[in-house]
């Protein structure tokens, strides 16, 4: 074997070993995904709809619209659990109807369209109207200012007032 052939095979062997090690590390790293399974002991007797607040070790904390075809796992995936999230211990808080102190409120001065749509009674059109209003008129100074947006009246404000805030 000539010297150039030995050099070629040495480099090829080194590249092969690096590729195998890198591939193995990638497979091991991606294999650590945690799966979440939530099992209800008895079938629900009625349809559940509303808003679920997700907070903690997630990249997108906030209020998520929940409907009967959604699963808790779907909502968790949307919230972007961090790599340090302990998905084996979840806390679900079901508020009393009189409860108004929610753990997470949506900042109407900074919320994106998808997050505004999570508010009760706010769909695509009203969410876009909120964004258009704040782009044209500047930041909301208090949560009552949202009533200045076309299409948001007192009834809509009463539905969302406990879910919204403005940053100081």
Number of C-beta neighbours around residue 15 at 10 A = 10
Would 141 be classed as within a structural domain? yes
Tell me the C-alpha distance between 56 and 82, whole Å.
9
Backbone phi, psi, residue 20, to 5°:
-65, -45
158 with 115, same domain: the answer is yes
113 with 146, same domain: the answer is yes
Task: Report which of 142, 91, 146 is spatially closest to residue 121, judged by C-alpha positions.
Answer: 146
**Tens-digit pLDDT profile for residues 76-106:** 777 778 788 887 777 666 666 776 555 568 8
**Tens-digit pLDDT profile for residues 12-32:** 888 888 777 877 776 666 555
How many domains is the chain built from? Answer: 3
First CA to last CA across the chain, in angstroms? 75
114 with 158, same domain: the answer is yes
Tell me the C-alpha distance between 86 and 6, whole Å.
51
130 with 150, same domain: the answer is yes
- The pTM of this model reads 0.44
Would 122 be classed as within a structural domain? yes
95 with 109, same domain: the answer is no
């Amino acid at each position: 074997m000539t010297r150039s052939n030995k050099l070629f095979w040495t480099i090829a062997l080194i590249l092969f070993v690096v590729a195998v090690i890198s591939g193995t590390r990638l497979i091991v790293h991606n294999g650590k995904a945690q799966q979440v399974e939530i099992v209800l002991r008895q079938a629900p007797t009625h349809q559940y709809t509303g808003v679920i607040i997700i907070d903690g070790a997630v990249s997108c904390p906030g209020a998520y619209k929940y409907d009967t075809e959604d699963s808790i796992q779907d909502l968790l995936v949307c919230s972007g659990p961090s790599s340090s999230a302990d998905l084996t211990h979840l806390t679900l808080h079901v508020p009393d109807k009189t409860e108004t102190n929610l753990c997470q409120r949506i900042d109407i001065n900074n919320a994106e369209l998808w997050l505004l749509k999570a508010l009760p009674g706010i769909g695509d059109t009203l969410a876009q109207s909120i964004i258009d209003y704040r782009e044209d008129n500047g930041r909301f100074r208090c949560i009552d200012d949202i009533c200045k947006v076309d299409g948001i009246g007192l009834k809509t404000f009463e539905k969302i007032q406990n879910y919204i805030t403005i940053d100081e």
